[in-house]
Amino acid sequence: MTSLEISKHGGGLALEYGHVKLGLDSGLNNETTLLSHAHADHLSGIARAYRIVATKGTLETLYARGYKVGGKVTTIDIGDSVGQLGVEVTALNAGHVLGSTMFLIEFDDDLKLLYTGDFNAVDSLVHKAAKAVQADVLVSEATYGTPEWVFPDRKEIYREILLKASEIMDNGKIPVFQAYSLGKAQEAIALLHSGGINVVTGNQKIDDVCKVYKKHGIDLRHISLREKEASEMIETGCAIVCSAPRYMVRNLQTEFGHSYTAKLESRFSFFSLSGWTLGETGKRGFPLSAHTDFPGLIEFARQVNPRLVYCFTSNAAQFSVHLTDEGFTAVPLE
């Protein structure tokens, strides 16, 4: 019987089954790497890959953020498959960021393995939820893989963000929402615009990624700090979406001078948009996550109905224990 080996490799994983070797977000030397999305923690070593398989959305956001890939590139659409000797790989939507992909890997002997990458099983304003498919082996992220991570309904989080933004603007201040430049920033822009709030973006990286989202048909309305309408918008009332506050302040100083920037800074109210702010809603931030929460991870595993689960990312060990309690055979990749 052929044995399956999965191990950590660089920032991702290496998979070996019979003569098939694949890198999963890892740039395995001289082999094909399946690249799930363009967040930096999934890109280490990809320059070493012989071939990268990724969606257009992943590749374009990766290039927009200044990364390069070495070797050959095969683009794959969500729902499509590519093959190489002994294996066929199908790309499935992961719901995490633009282009994000889960990979269903089907070997010649019919063994099916699902690699989730980072995934979100809940719809957002700009990304569709990941849907489970049946597989014999599930390789699941476990970022929020302990029971305290139960996110409120996304619509409720949206409502609270919009209420807070309006309240701060009504007091003559400027709400500043800090969010990852890929994924969360675009969701924040779409949300604030949907609530009738003008949005100024504070970092070039967000603007570069927004261009790719727009190319893929996602309606994002915002003004960059560098555009001439920005100062008027800041004066008449707006929210700011930024990914790196320190650089945003530097950009403001370049555009508007130090003394005006200092005045603006005194009007800023910062909020982080991240699952990690759960329990501090409206204070430090809002628990808007691009990942699946604990009940969602367990439910997803149930729907995949695998014989074996491998868990990766932080909380892998704890999530494996919880999966075992739920009747799964689960192993952390550490």
> Given the rule CB under 5 A, which residues bind Zn ion?
39, 118
Nearest by Cα to 100 from 37, 34, 43? 37
60 vs 106, beta carbon nearer Zn ion: 60
> Per the structure block, which two tokens stand in for 326?
């739920």
Q: How far is the CB of 307 from Zn ion (least distance, A)?
A: 27
Pick the closer one to Zn ion by CB: 99 or 306: 99
Nearest approach, Cβ of 275 to Zn ion (angstroms)? 12
Minimum distance, C-beta of residue 172 to Zn ion, in the bound complex (Å): 36
What is the number of the residue whose Cβ is closest to Zn ion?
Answer: 39
Question: How many other C-beta atoms are found inside a 10 Å radius of the C-beta of residue 42?
Answer: 22
Cα separations (Å) of 167 from 161, 269, 286?
10, 11, 15
- Distance separating the N- and C-terminal Cα atoms of the chain: 25
In the complex, minimum distance from the CB of residue 130 to Zn ion, in angstroms, rounded to a whole number: 12
CA angle centred on 287, ends 318 and 210, rounded to 5°: 110
Task: Give the list of residues 6+ apart from residue 308 with CB closer than 8 angstroms, or none.
Answer: 136, 137, 138, 329, 330, 331
Our CB check for Zn ion shows the closer of 61 and 251 to be 61
Q: How many CA atoms lie within 13 A of 58 on its CB side?
A: 33
User: Which amino acid, residue 42?
Assistant: H
Q: Which is nearer to Zn ion, 164 or 291 (CB)?
A: 291
- If the CB atoms of residues 118 and 293 are measured against Zn ion, the closer one turns out to be 118
Nearest distance, CB of residue 236 and Zn ion, angstroms: 35
Which residue shows structure tokens 């100062």?
A: 231
**Per this entry, what is the length of the chain?**
334
Minimum gap (Å) between residue 84 Cβ and Zn ion: 26
Judged by beta carbon, residue 100 or residue 251, the one nearer Zn ion is: 100
